[in-house]
């Protein structure tokens, strides 16, 4: 296997643990036998980016300027292709996608592709309040011909709180709470769960539930990056 010729830029820090998990997955999924066959990666853990959901809900500063700063720096530093390890950030990125000077591997599109493979008849979408309110996944799934099932408003609020627990480092309790929500959803429709926030795969690890019934947005993004970098 030859070393990829393109350098991957990772705009992370949204949150830091999710960015670290993406890098772990990227290393695990790379078809490489030695260090030199892994892709060159530039990671910008840009934790100064304002909270995306808080702004969408009208309670905080606009993250767009910092997203632009992060993208510009990664391109300046030599990135040939970008990923951003935050789903809600893609609501803002969609508004400027045509202005980004290098390709963007889109976490929403990659996650829907993996959901289509695992469960063509649909899946439950679990995400932050910001992602839910913007209709980000609804927009892209309609374009890609896929159907999601959605939690109630109360369940959605619980799921958002679970992502905040992971950001605060309380991942085990987040997983226990996530398991309860998932059980309620799957009682209504026995479908896989899509973790459409980069904190949710970290919580799912602590649910004790079957891995094959969960679509991780982080793993989906890592698979998309590997596909692109190695031209598989």
Q: How far apart are CA 91 and CA 68, in angstroms?
A: 13
Q: How far apart are CA 129 and CA 157, in angstroms?
A: 7
Which candidate in 84, 86, 221, 226 is catalytic?
86
Is the pLDDT confidence value at 212 over 90?
yes
Give me the percent of the chain exceeding a pLDDT of 70.
Answer: 99
Over the stretch 15-67, which tens digit does the pLDDT of each residue have? 999 999 999 999 999 999 999 999 999 999 999 999 999 999 999 999 999 99
Q: How far apart are CA 89 and CA 69, in angstroms?
A: 13
86 carries an active-site annotation = yes
pLDDT score of 2: 84
Is the pLDDT confidence value at 1 over 70?
no
pLDDT score of 213: 96
Which candidate in 197, 217, 221, 229 is catalytic?
197
pLDDT score of 48: 97
Is the pLDDT confidence value at 78 over 70?
yes
Average pLDDT along the chain: 97
Q: How far apart are CA 154 and CA 160, in angstroms?
A: 10
Over the stretch 112-148, which tens digit does the pLDDT of each residue have? 999 999 999 999 999 999 999 999 999 999 999 999 9
Packing angle of the helix pair 153-167, 171-188 (nearest 10 deg): 160
Q: Which residues contact 147 (CB under 8 A, 6 or more apart)?
A: 121, 122, 141
Give me the percent of the chain exceeding a pLDDT of 90.
Answer: 99
């Amino acid at each position: 296997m030859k070393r990829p010729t393109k350098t991957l830029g990772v705009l992370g820090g949204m949150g830091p643990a999710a960015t670290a998990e993406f890098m772990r997955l990227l290393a695990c999924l790379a078809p490489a036998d030695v260090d030199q066959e892994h892709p060159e990666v530039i990671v910008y853990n840009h934790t100064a980016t304002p909270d995306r959901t808080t702004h969408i809900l009208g309670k905080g500063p606009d993250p767009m300027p910092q997203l632009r700063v992060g993208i510009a720096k990664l391109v300046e530093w030599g990135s040939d292709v970008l990923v951003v390890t935050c789903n809600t950030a893609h609501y803002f990125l969609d508004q400027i996608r045509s202005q980004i000077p290098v390709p963007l591997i889109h976490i929403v599109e990659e996650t829907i592709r993996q959901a289509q493979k695992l469960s063509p008849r649909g899946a439950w979408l679990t995400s932050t309040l910001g992602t839910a309110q913007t209709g980000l996944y609804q927009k892209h799934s309609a374009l890609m011909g896929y159907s999601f099932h959605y939690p109630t408003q109360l369940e959605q609020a619980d799921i958002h709180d679970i992502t905040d627990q992971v950001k605060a480092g309380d991942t085990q309790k987040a997983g226990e709470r996530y398991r309860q929500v998932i059980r309620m959803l799957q009682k209504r429709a026995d479908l896989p769960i899509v973790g459409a926030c980069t904190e949710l795969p970290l919580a799912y690890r602590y649910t004790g539930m079957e891995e094959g019934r969960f679509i991780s947005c982080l793993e989906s993004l890592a698979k998309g990056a590997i596909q692109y970098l190695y031209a598989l």
